[in-house]
Every structure is written in C-alpha cells, then in structure tokens.
C-alpha cells in the first residue's frame, strides 16, 4: 500500500544556480501531484519532500531553530502552507551522528545514542532534553513555529548510525549503530509515543536508513556503511 509520495530528496541542500532553479518548482510540483491524486479520488496518500537539517540556519538551542534566510520566505513558507493545508508531514532527514562527530568534546556520545543521563535545559523555553535527536527535531518545530506553522506534523524520513567508517571517523562502528537503532525503535515504536519535549506524546513516523550497506558508494567510509544488512544480505550484528 502506498501511503506517501515524496518529491525529490534533500532538494534544498545544494545552493548551485541549477539547484536554485529547482527550488522554485518544488512546491508547485507537489501541488500538481496532490491535485492528480484527488482527481482520481485518492485522498489517503500524503505528498511531501524530505529535507536535510542543513535547511536550518540555527539549531541550538532548539528554541533558536530558524530556517536559512535564502529559503525561509521563498520556499519554506509555501511548503509549510501546503503541508498544513493537506495535513501532510514535514519529512526530515536527521542524523545525530553528524553533529556529534563534528564536536565530540562538547556533545556526549551517549547523548547522541539516546542513552544518556545528561539533561540539558533550553534557556529560552525551560524544556529539558535528554538526547540529541529530540533537540534536533524540536529545532525544526521552533523554526516552523517562527514562520506561523506550529502544528505541522513531523516524520523522520531518514535516521541511523554508521556501522563502520574510515580510521579517522571515530564512533562509526557496529556497537554504536546497534545501540542507536535499538534505542530509536524503543522511543518511536513504543505503545505510548514519547514525542519530544516541545511535542510530548506526539507520534513521529520514523524510517531507519538504510536497509543495505552501499559498498559501491563513493566518499568517506561512513557513506558505505549505514545498512542493517550487508550487500549480500547477511545481517550486521553487534558483538
């Protein structure tokens, strides 16, 4: 059963002249797809687009979350208007691994792996955070709120943790990947959704990236090692 149609993938992450031309066509394309679905009396399929966290200008503290100025008015406002009116989701690709790996001194590994006893209080709201994922998600919530759309629902289009990487890519290993994914499932698939501090109890549909390692992918070693399975189908397991 098809439940969602996603248009593009992280379309706003590239700022080349060619990419910026695509930005202007993103929401109109989504509208046309929605109109086509309704013309066929199909009303239970959501239309959206997955965005990366780089769509935000600021993410910390979460209450300071804002979208980039080059897309805030021209792209995000029409996008949020469409998602709100069609009761769709804001699809976000969110990887705690990346901010942790960029600043492992100031960000606890356990905080990123969803298993920390650390508590961080947002000075702007008084909301208490116990993991990095919630901080990242709520920065999106506050960014949407600043544009006048506080109620658009979130869906995690991609999240995960690399199970291997190059020598200098510390923290990318099977143990951490298993820990993150296990804690993620407990948080998001429990009988009582926990939501986030800004949206307690909210159900957040979540998809783990990825099913398979991509052994032919170029770039840093982590790019090839996000899968739950090896390319041959064998399971990536923790010691």
1 has a pLDDT exceeding 70:
yes
8 has a pLDDT exceeding 90:
yes
The predicted pLDDT at position 239 comes to 52
Mean pLDDT of 54-63: 98
Whether residue 20 is contained in a domain is answered as no
Mean pLDDT of 222-226: 96
Q: How many CB atoms lie within 10 A of CB 57?
A: 15
Whether residue 58 is contained in a domain is answered as yes
Total number of domains in the chain: 1
Mean pLDDT of 145-156: 99
Whether residue 231 is contained in a domain is answered as no
The predicted pLDDT at position 191 comes to 86
Q: pLDDT band at 116, cuts 50/70/90?
A: confident
Pairing assessment for the beta strands 128-129 and 120-121 based on DSSP bridges: antiparallel
168 tagged catalytic: no
The predicted pLDDT at position 238 comes to 62
CATH number of the domain to which 88 belongs:
3.20.20.80
Which residue stretches of the chain are H helix?
17-39, 69-71, 77-85, 97-102, 109-112, 132-146, 174-188
215 has a pLDDT exceeding 70:
yes
pTM comes to 0.96
Separation between Cα atoms, residue 125 and residue 197, nearest integer Å: 10
Q: Which domain holds residue 204?
A: 51-224
Catalytic option among 10, 168, 169, 223 = 10
Residue 216: phi and psi, rounded to 5, are -105, 5
The predicted pLDDT at position 190 comes to 84
169 tagged catalytic: no
The β-bridge partners of 6 are 48
Catalytic option among 158, 169, 214, 223 = 158
């Amino acid at each position: 059963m098809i439940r969602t149609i996603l248009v593009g993938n992280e379309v706003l992450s590239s700022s080349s002249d060619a990419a910026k031309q695509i930005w202007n066509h993103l929401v109109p394309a989504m509208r046309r797809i929605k109109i086509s679905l309704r013309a066929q009396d199909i009303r239970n399929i959501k239309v959206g687009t997955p965005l990366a966290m780089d769509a935000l200008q600021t993410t910390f503290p979460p209450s300071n979350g804002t979208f980039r100025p080059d897309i805030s008015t021209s792209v995000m406002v029409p996008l949020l208007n469409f998602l709100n009116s069609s009761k769709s989701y804001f699809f976000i690709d969110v990887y705690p691994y990346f901010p942790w790996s960029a600043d492992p001194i100031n960000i606890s590994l356990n905080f990123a792996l969803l298993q920390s006893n650390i508590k961080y209080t947002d000075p702007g709201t008084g909301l208490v955070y116990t993991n990095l994922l919630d901080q990242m998600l709520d920065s999106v919530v506050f960014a949407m709120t600043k544009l006048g759309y506080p109620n658009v629902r979130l869906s995690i289009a991609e999240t995960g943790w690399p199970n291997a990487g190059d020598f200098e890519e510390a923290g990318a290993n099977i143990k951490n990947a298993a820990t993150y994914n296990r804690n993620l499932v407990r948080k998001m698939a429990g009988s009582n959704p926990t939501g986030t501090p800004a949206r307690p109890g909210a159900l957040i549909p979540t998809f783990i990236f990825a099913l398979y390692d991509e052994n032919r992918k170029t770039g840093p070693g982590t790019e090839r090692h996000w899968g739950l399975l090896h390319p041959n189908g064998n399971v990536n397991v923790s010691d």
